[in-house]
Amino acid sequence: MSEVTTTVRAPKAPVPDSRRRPSWSAGRVVRLLVLLALLVVLLALPLYVEEFWLRAGFAVFGAIIGAVGLNLLVGTTGQLSLAHAFFLAVGAVTYTYTSGEPGGTANPYGGLGWSPLLGMLLGVVAAGSAGLLFSPIAARLRGIYLGIASLGLVFIGDHVLNTWGSVTGGFNGRLVPYFSIFGFSFGGNDSPTLAVLGVPFGQAERLWYLGLVLCIGACWFAANLLRSRPGRALQALRDSEVAASVMGVDVRDYKAKAFLVSSMYAGLAGVLYALSIGSVAPDSFGLTLSVQFLAMIVLGGLGSVWGSVLGATFVSALPLVFQQYAGSLPFIVDPGEPGIVASQAAAFLYGAAIVLVVLFEPGGLVGLARRLRRPHRAPGAASAATSGVDQDQLTPSARAGTSTRGDN
């Protein structure tokens, strides 16, 4: 009888996964230190800068919140919306009516006189409810058809703002009440005296910190949402609704939730926008405002929270800076004079920036920053887009690689 020999092989050692990073890698520590340094600078700015920069910063904070909400809908979920100005108007008008007092001469309007904090919360809830009511339509449409359908909300909102004078003040609009929390006012002559290190903290300084806190909270929530299971489901919807449905994602339900969250962000941004400009008028919430928010997320980077921050800062601050320094900048004139005014120059500049981004860097400013941060690639680290895979078979987000996915 022949002997049967068996050979027992030692188990192979596990191959280390080079893609896995330690929980506290050097890169993460550096990013954390940079964020802390940036936070310290933002907290100390009211002690050193002029009132113009504080008011401009408050407007930028509101724009960032609105851009983050729109990016969750367009960049992360892949649903085109041109109705962002409508949801901003809902939040602004709800806050102004619930927290304001009756007034007006030519066009009398009413007001409930409730707490401004409650008015802000109601503005967010009202905008979210409007988005939720529109979500059944959004669930049945996509692409340009959804964009055209959402565009109808802007025209509806313009008609309501002009005709519902008892609430909105009509075509003249109405003043926005000052914001306050538990009796502490953020503006007006009745606000308590406050000074920090010998610097008087007036309306501009207080609104700066209000906008900073709300902006940080909104960005933190969005960043955690993108890293969560619902965030991955929204990204799957963007890449392929069929594939997402096969994986168990309820397409209609998640589309409705995306519109709900995005419109709530827009409602909060609308309240800050109203506090920034001091009045609510139909001309302030037209189609141009929706296009500006689309420009913010395209310039900054679709699907990225940091992209929303960069794009909103660029688009919203540029006209204000041009207007402030119109006399010192070439080819820019003061309003009323023949030539290019500050708002037109800003529109030309970020319009040209959009064209350049679409042509040369689809990932936006975040994609450009990522490219500058990693200028050299190893020969073996090429992505699927450059390793022989047919580009026409990939989804748009797969062609752009990580440049279109959220850099939170």
Could you tell me which residues come within 8 angstroms of residue 187 by beta carbon, excluding any fewer than 6 positions away? 178, 179, 203, 206, 207
Residue 391, both tokens: 């580009």
Query: Is residue 119 classed exposed, middle or buried when 0-12, 13-18 and 19+ CB atoms within 10 A define those classes?
Result: buried
**For the chain, first and last CA: distance in Å?**
69
Q: How far apart are CA 393 and CA 129, in angstroms?
A: 39
Cα three-residue angle 298-407-304, rounded to 5 degrees = 30
Q: Which residues of the chain have pLDDT under 50?
A: 1-2, 4, 6, 8, 15, 17-19, 21, 378-407
Cβ 95 vs Cβ 120: under 8 Å: yes
Q: How far apart are CA 317 and CA 89, in angstroms?
A: 21
Domain spans, the chain: 41-285
pLDDT of residue 354: 84
Q: How far apart are CA 127 and CA 97, in angstroms?
A: 14
pLDDT of residue 310: 92
